Chain A
């Protein structure tokens, strides 16, 4: 199965600033998924990132707030822009790995103060 390196693992940021989260996959994948997970809650899909096209955002998430880059088949970034305390959460990237389902990065724990 694929191995994903996600950075940073955690950060504490000032409100109004932006944070860019990176995910590097050890193999080429068509789609990468970005999730948010509030403490004690389930995963919420933010967007799906395809290489060479704009990301597809789910209801409640917009490109201006969560711009995504997908420059090649092994790498993607998610930026959390103009952060507020409500953006404090765990952010996860994920890729599909065939019969073994989906593999996740180790997550980024974001705290906005």
Chain B
């Protein structure tokens, strides 16, 4: 079956680093996405991984290990505006390439 797990909530301090993990089980993996969603707003695209390894984009990095069914989103130099939910989603080729979404991790940044 399809399953995506990520922590429900995390707390971090402004200026610090936080890693949000995502584990997944899908039969037809075709890429993993991370999205940021502020309360009351639509999700916005952060990163896309289809091959193993680390993708870096400014303060945000995303890592993928297909053999382990594992990804993480790394946020550096945390800012108060980074307080949001972070959604992990996997595209499943065996389900007509639709996105399977995790429940999201609510990240709380404290000064």
Q: Which A residues have a C-beta under 8 Å from some C-beta of B?
A: 1, 33, 41-45, 48, 56, 58, 92, 97, 99-107, 109
Contact = CB atoms under 8 A, between A and B. Distances in A.
A106 B99 contact: no
Interface in B71-90: 87, 89
Given A42-B103, A43-B87, A43-B101, A104 B43 contact: yes
A109 B39 CA distance: 12
Given A58-B98, A92-B43, A107-B41, 17 more contacts: A1-B45, A33-B99, A42-B87, A42-B101, A42-B102, A42-B104, A43-B99, A45-B98, A92-B42, A99-B48, A101-B35, A101-B45, A102-B33, A102-B99, A104-B44, A106-B42, A107-B42
B67 interface: no
Q: 4 smallest A-B Cβ distances: which pairs? A: A104-B42, A101-B45, A42-B101, A42-B103
Interface string B47-84: 01000000000000000000000000000000000000
Tell me the dominant secondary structure on chain B's binding face: strand
A101 B42 CA distance: 14
A41 B103 contact: yes
A105 B42 contact: yes
Contacts of B48: 99-101
Contacts of B35: 101
25 contacts: A1-B45, A33-B98, A33-B99, A41-B103, A41-B104, A42-B87, A42-B104, A43-B87, A44-B101, A45-B98, A45-B99, A48-B96, A92-B42, A101-B33, A101-B35, A101-B45, A101-B48, A102-B33, A102-B45, A103-B45, A104-B43, A105-B42, A106-B42, A107-B41, A107-B42
Contacts of B101: 42-44
A107 B38 CA distance: 12
A111 to B, nearest CB: 13
Nearest to A107: B42
B105 to A, nearest CB: 11
A87 B40 CA distance: 17
Contacts of A45: 98-99
